[in-house]
């Protein structure tokens, strides 16, 4: 399915492409990615639901990224619907077979919107449709793979002084230093209760990605670096240099929905020239801008 500069796969409800006005791809997708079951597509924006990571009884990052979604032809109204935006609505519901692994009935509606300025918005609405009166609990992430020129030239701003759970140290809790984050080794951290706006500055490309999120308190930052890259069959040995995952997420405090209740989580991405944060990469300016 194509929407201007935007490609969405029904497999995984997965956005695999987002381009700017110059036709440059802004999302990373591995040259070794497979676009069919059983593995999720390596790159783009996998949806992690109902389990982020390996903590829990389900497969790593849950099953939503490995299912075929459908077009939602009659989505309930969105309060923010505006006529000058291109969007597509997808829906995921469990089959009887699925309910053997996760015994809950739900409707997961995903709206992917391309704004007039080229911004990419993803809104998830998850409703508990259990008829047995039971609540369910989940964790969630938009596992966004940003395309970057050279990881060693990238910095992330907005997570300074924030607490994180280190996935490389059994989710032990630490506090990030006062400086913007830079990369020189494997990183796999779950920042908890972060600001709603995070900036990813690509120095070489003179490009800044701005991620805004709502309903998603946490943010995961992941780069596998060289050793783990080599161990991943669907990822090139050197590709870690050209990607960074910054993932709007709900991990530390899972969401519980009673029957009839709905949760909403929204992520908005924009890509702007780095001159946007002139005054040279001053975090306050990036974070207070627009
Ligand atoms: O290989 P997967 O299942 O797509 O996961 C990739 C990575 O995803 C990140 O979100 C996790 O924090 C990492 O621990 C994990 O390695």
CA–CA separation, 247 and 195 (whole Å): 13
pLDDT more than 90, % of the chain: 86
CA–CA separation, 91 and 69 (whole Å): 6
Has residue 162 got a pLDDT over 50? yes
pLDDT more than 70, % of the chain: 91
Q: Give the distance (Å) from ligand 1 centre to CA of residue 42.
A: 10
CA–CA separation, 65 and 111 (whole Å): 15
- At CA 285, angle to CA 281 and CA 288, rounded to 5? 140
pLDDT digits (tens, 9 = 90+) for 79-102: 765 565 789 999 999 999 999 999
| Residue whose CA lies nearest to ligand 1 atom number 3 | 60
CA–CA separation, 4 and 270 (whole Å): 15
- Model confidence at 77, pLDDT cuts 50, 70, 90, reads confident
- Model confidence at 1, pLDDT cuts 50, 70, 90, reads very low
Higher pLDDT, 166 or 277: 166
DSSP one-letter string for 155-194: EEES-TT-EEEEGGGTTEEEE--SSPB--SS-EEEEE-S-
Q: Is the peptide bond before 86 cis (omega within 30 degrees of 0)?
A: no
130 in Cβ contact with 136 (< 8 Å): yes
| Residue whose CA lies nearest to ligand 1 atom number 16 | 224
Q: Could you identify the atom of ligand 1 that is nearest to the CA of residue 232?
A: 1
* Options 14, 143, 157, 176, the catalytic residue: 143
Q: Give the distance (Å) from ligand 1 centre to CA of residue 45.
A: 12
CA–CA separation, 175 and 131 (whole Å): 43
pLDDT digits (tens, 9 = 90+) for 6-32: 799 999 999 999 999 889 999 999 999
Q: Between the ranges 71-75, 112-116, 142-146, where is the mean pLDDT highest?
A: 142-146
Strand-pair category, 243-257 with 47-48: unpaired
Query: What pLDDT sits at residue 80?
Result: 64
143 is catalytic: yes
Higher pLDDT, 77 or 233: 233
Residue 284 assigned ligand-binding role: no
Q: Which domains does the chain have, with CATH numbers?
A: 6-273 (2.70.98.10)
Q: Could you identify the atom of ligand 1 that is nearest to the CA of residue 143?
A: 10
- Model confidence at 216, pLDDT cuts 50, 70, 90, reads very high
Q: What is the ipTM of this complex?
A: 0.99
Has residue 116 got a pLDDT over 90? no
Q: Give the distance (Å) from ligand 1 centre to CA of residue 143.
A: 9
242 is catalytic: no
pTM of the model: 0.93
Average pLDDT over residues 186-192: 98
Buried b vs exposed e over 219-234: b needs ≥16 C-beta within 10 Å?
Answer: bbbbbbbeeebeeeee
Tokens of residue 54, six digits:
């390996």
Residue 288 assigned ligand-binding role: no
Average pLDDT over residues 239-263: 98
Which sign, positive or negative, has the C-alpha torsion 39, 42, 43, 49? positive
pLDDT digits (tens, 9 = 90+) for 31-60: 999 999 999 999 999 999 999 999 999 999
DSSP state of 98: H
Residue 51 assigned ligand-binding role: no
Has residue 2 got a pLDDT over 80? no
State if residue 189 touches ligand 1 by the CB under 6 angstroms criterion. no
């Amino acid at each position: 399915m194509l929407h201007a500069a935007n490609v969405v796969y029904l497999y995984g409800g997965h956005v695999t492409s987002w381009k700017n006005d110059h036709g440059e791809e802004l999302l990373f997708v591995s040259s070794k990615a497979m676009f069919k079951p059983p593995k999720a597509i390596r790159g783009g924006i996998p949806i992690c639901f109902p389990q982020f990571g390996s903590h829990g009884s389900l497969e790593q990052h849950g099953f939503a990224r490995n299912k075929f979604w459908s077009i939602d032809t009659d989505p309930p109204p969105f309060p923010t619907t505006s006529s000058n935006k291109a969007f597509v609505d997808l829906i995921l519901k469990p089959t009887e077979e699925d309910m053997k692994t996760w015994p809950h009935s739900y409707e997961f509606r995903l709206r992917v919107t391309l704004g007039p300025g080229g911004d990419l918005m993803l809104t998830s609405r998850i409703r508990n449709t259990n008829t047995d009166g039971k609540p369910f609990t989940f964790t969630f992430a938009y596992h966004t793979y940003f395309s970057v020129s050279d990881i060693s030239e990238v910095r992330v701003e907005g997570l300074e002084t924030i607490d994180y759970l280190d996935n490389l140290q059994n989710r032990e809790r630490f506090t990030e230093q006062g400086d913007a984050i830079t990369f020189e080794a494997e990183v796999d951290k779950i920042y908890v209760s972060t600001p709603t706006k995070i900036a990813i500055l690509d120095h070489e490309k003179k490009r800044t990605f701005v991620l805004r999120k709502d309903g998603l308190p946490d943010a995961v930052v992941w780069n596998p670096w060289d050793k783990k890259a080599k161990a991943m069959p669907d990822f090139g040995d050197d590709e870690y240099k050209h990607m960074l995952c910054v993932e709007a997420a709900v991990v530390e405090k899972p969401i519980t929905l009673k029957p009839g209740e709905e949760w909403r989580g929204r992520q908005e991405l924009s890509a702007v020239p780095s001159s946007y944060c002139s005054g040279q990469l001053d975090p306050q300016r990036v974070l207070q801008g627009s």
